Structure 1
Protein backbone atom coordinates (compact mmCIF):
# COMPACT_ATOMS: atom_id res chain seq x y z
CA UNK A 1 0.00 0.00 0.00
CA UNK A 2 1.14 3.51 -0.74
CA UNK A 3 1.17 6.47 1.62
CA UNK A 4 0.03 9.95 0.65
CA UNK A 5 0.68 13.21 2.45
CA UNK A 6 -1.79 16.04 1.96
CA UNK A 7 -0.36 19.45 2.70
CA UNK A 8 -2.12 22.77 3.22
CA UNK A 9 -5.52 21.28 4.03
CA UNK A 10 -7.72 24.03 5.41
CA UNK A 11 -9.01 23.78 8.97
CA UNK A 12 -12.58 23.86 7.65
CA UNK A 13 -12.03 20.87 5.37
CA UNK A 14 -10.21 18.91 8.06
CA UNK A 15 -13.00 19.62 10.55
CA UNK A 16 -15.65 18.54 8.03
CA UNK A 17 -13.79 15.30 7.33
CA UNK A 18 -13.46 14.60 11.07
CA UNK A 19 -17.20 15.18 11.53
CA UNK A 20 -18.03 12.97 8.55
CA UNK A 21 -15.72 10.25 9.91
CA UNK A 22 -17.41 10.39 13.31
CA UNK A 23 -20.83 10.12 11.65
CA UNK A 24 -19.65 7.00 9.81
CA UNK A 25 -17.96 5.55 12.91
CA UNK A 26 -14.44 5.51 11.52
CA UNK A 27 -11.16 7.36 11.87
CA UNK A 28 -10.35 10.48 9.88
CA UNK A 29 -7.76 8.50 7.92
CA UNK A 30 -10.28 5.76 7.11
CA UNK A 31 -12.79 8.40 6.03
CA UNK A 32 -10.28 10.01 3.68
CA UNK A 33 -9.55 6.57 2.17
CA UNK A 34 -13.29 6.01 1.68
CA UNK A 35 -13.72 9.43 0.03
CA UNK A 36 -10.83 8.82 -2.35
CA UNK A 37 -11.97 5.29 -3.20
CA UNK A 38 -15.51 6.49 -3.89
CA UNK A 39 -14.17 9.30 -6.09
CA UNK A 40 -12.09 7.05 -8.35
CA UNK A 41 -14.16 3.85 -8.19
CA UNK A 42 -17.81 4.92 -8.10
CA UNK A 43 -20.33 2.13 -7.56
CA UNK A 44 -22.31 3.20 -10.63
CA UNK A 45 -19.36 2.90 -13.00
CA UNK A 46 -19.96 1.02 -16.21
CA UNK A 47 -18.52 -2.46 -16.22
CA UNK A 48 -17.76 -3.61 -19.76
CA UNK A 49 -18.58 -7.29 -19.25
CA UNK A 50 -21.95 -6.50 -17.68
CA UNK A 51 -22.73 -3.99 -20.42
CA UNK A 52 -21.94 -6.51 -23.17
CA UNK A 53 -24.05 -9.18 -21.46
CA UNK A 54 -26.96 -6.72 -21.28
CA UNK A 55 -26.60 -5.96 -24.98
CA UNK A 56 -26.65 -9.68 -25.76
CA UNK A 57 -29.85 -10.09 -23.76
CA UNK A 58 -31.41 -7.01 -25.40
CA UNK A 59 -30.83 -8.31 -28.92
CA UNK A 60 -31.87 -11.82 -27.87
CA UNK A 61 -28.91 -13.81 -29.14
CA UNK A 62 -29.61 -17.43 -29.98
CA UNK A 63 -27.53 -20.17 -28.37
CA UNK A 64 -25.66 -20.63 -31.67
CA UNK A 65 -24.84 -16.91 -31.93
CA UNK A 66 -23.71 -16.83 -28.32
CA UNK A 67 -21.46 -19.86 -28.86
CA UNK A 68 -19.93 -18.25 -31.96
CA UNK A 69 -19.14 -15.07 -30.03
CA UNK A 70 -17.63 -16.85 -27.04
CA UNK A 71 -15.64 -19.47 -28.97
CA UNK A 72 -11.88 -18.99 -28.82
CA UNK A 73 -9.35 -19.90 -31.44
CA UNK A 74 -6.92 -22.10 -29.56
CA UNK A 75 -4.58 -22.74 -32.47
CA UNK A 76 -1.00 -21.53 -31.96
CA UNK A 77 -0.22 -18.11 -33.35
CA UNK A 78 1.99 -17.99 -36.41
CA UNK A 79 5.12 -15.84 -36.04
CA UNK A 80 5.32 -12.74 -38.20
CA UNK A 81 7.73 -12.74 -41.09
CA UNK A 82 9.54 -9.52 -41.90
CA UNK A 83 11.45 -10.74 -44.97
CA UNK A 84 10.42 -9.09 -48.21
Structure 2
Protein backbone atom coordinates (compact mmCIF):
# COMPACT_ATOMS: atom_id res chain seq x y z
CA UNK A 1 0.00 0.00 0.00
CA UNK A 2 1.47 3.30 -1.02
CA UNK A 3 -0.62 5.45 1.26
CA UNK A 4 -0.43 9.20 0.97
CA UNK A 5 1.30 9.47 4.36
CA UNK A 6 4.32 7.65 2.93
CA UNK A 7 4.46 9.43 -0.40
CA UNK A 8 3.96 12.92 1.01
CA UNK A 9 6.72 15.48 0.52
CA UNK A 10 7.01 15.96 4.28
CA UNK A 11 7.58 12.25 4.96
CA UNK A 12 10.02 11.90 2.07
CA UNK A 13 11.97 14.91 3.38
CA UNK A 14 12.09 13.31 6.85
CA UNK A 15 13.59 10.15 5.34
CA UNK A 16 16.16 12.12 3.35
CA UNK A 17 17.12 14.28 6.33
CA UNK A 18 17.81 11.14 8.35
CA UNK A 19 19.80 9.37 5.66
CA UNK A 20 17.10 6.80 4.96
CA UNK A 21 16.55 5.58 1.43
CA UNK A 22 12.90 4.98 0.61
CA UNK A 23 12.26 1.47 -0.64
CA UNK A 24 8.87 2.00 -2.23
CA UNK A 25 8.61 1.06 -5.84
CA UNK A 26 6.28 2.59 -8.35
CA UNK A 27 2.58 1.98 -7.98
CA UNK A 28 1.42 -1.45 -9.10
CA UNK A 29 4.76 -3.21 -8.59
CA UNK A 30 3.77 -6.35 -6.69
CA UNK A 31 7.31 -7.67 -6.24
CA UNK A 32 8.83 -5.11 -3.87
CA UNK A 33 7.64 -6.94 -0.76
CA UNK A 34 7.59 -10.50 -2.11
CA UNK A 35 10.51 -11.75 0.01
CA UNK A 36 8.90 -10.65 3.28
CA UNK A 37 5.49 -11.92 2.25
CA UNK A 38 7.09 -15.30 1.54
CA UNK A 39 8.90 -15.32 4.89
CA UNK A 40 5.75 -14.53 6.87
CA UNK A 41 3.83 -17.18 4.98
CA UNK A 42 6.51 -19.75 5.82
CA UNK A 43 6.59 -18.67 9.45
CA UNK A 44 2.84 -19.06 9.77
CA UNK A 45 2.48 -22.37 7.95
CA UNK A 46 5.63 -24.02 9.28
CA UNK A 47 5.57 -22.79 12.86
CA UNK A 48 2.97 -20.54 14.41
CA UNK A 49 -0.41 -21.44 12.89
CA UNK A 50 -0.73 -24.69 14.84
CA UNK A 51 0.53 -23.31 18.17
CA UNK A 52 -1.16 -21.46 20.98
CA UNK A 53 1.13 -19.12 22.89
CA UNK A 54 0.16 -18.20 26.41
CA UNK A 55 2.58 -15.29 26.69
CA UNK A 56 4.15 -12.83 24.27
CA UNK A 57 7.64 -13.82 25.46
CA UNK A 58 6.85 -17.45 24.66
CA UNK A 59 5.84 -16.49 21.11
CA UNK A 60 8.88 -14.25 20.72
CA UNK A 61 11.23 -17.04 21.84
CA UNK A 62 9.59 -19.56 19.51
CA UNK A 63 9.78 -17.23 16.50
CA UNK A 64 13.43 -16.48 17.32
CA UNK A 65 14.11 -20.22 17.52
CA UNK A 66 12.43 -20.78 14.15
CA UNK A 67 14.49 -18.05 12.49
CA UNK A 68 17.87 -18.73 14.08
CA UNK A 69 17.82 -22.52 14.37
CA UNK A 70 15.84 -23.50 11.28
CA UNK A 71 14.99 -20.79 8.74
CA UNK A 72 18.41 -19.14 8.38
CA UNK A 73 20.76 -22.12 8.82
CA UNK A 74 18.70 -24.96 7.32
CA UNK A 75 15.68 -23.98 5.23
CA UNK A 76 16.45 -24.05 1.52
CA UNK A 77 15.17 -21.28 -0.71
CA UNK A 78 14.48 -21.54 -4.42
CA UNK A 79 15.49 -17.91 -4.98
CA UNK A 80 18.92 -18.67 -3.47
CA UNK A 81 19.54 -21.72 -5.64
CA UNK A 82 18.09 -24.13 -3.06
CA UNK A 83 20.57 -23.29 -0.33
CA UNK A 84 19.92 -21.81 3.09
CA UNK A 85 20.28 -18.08 3.81
CA UNK A 86 23.27 -18.80 6.09
CA UNK A 87 25.02 -20.78 3.36
CA UNK A 88 24.24 -18.08 0.83
CA UNK A 89 25.79 -15.40 3.07
CA UNK A 90 28.91 -17.52 3.64
CA UNK A 91 29.36 -18.06 -0.09
CA UNK A 92 28.72 -14.40 -0.82
CA UNK A 93 31.33 -13.18 1.67
CA UNK A 94 33.98 -15.67 0.58
> The TM-score by the shorter chain falls in which range?
under 0.3
* Higher helix proportion: 2
Structure number with larger C-alpha Rg: 1
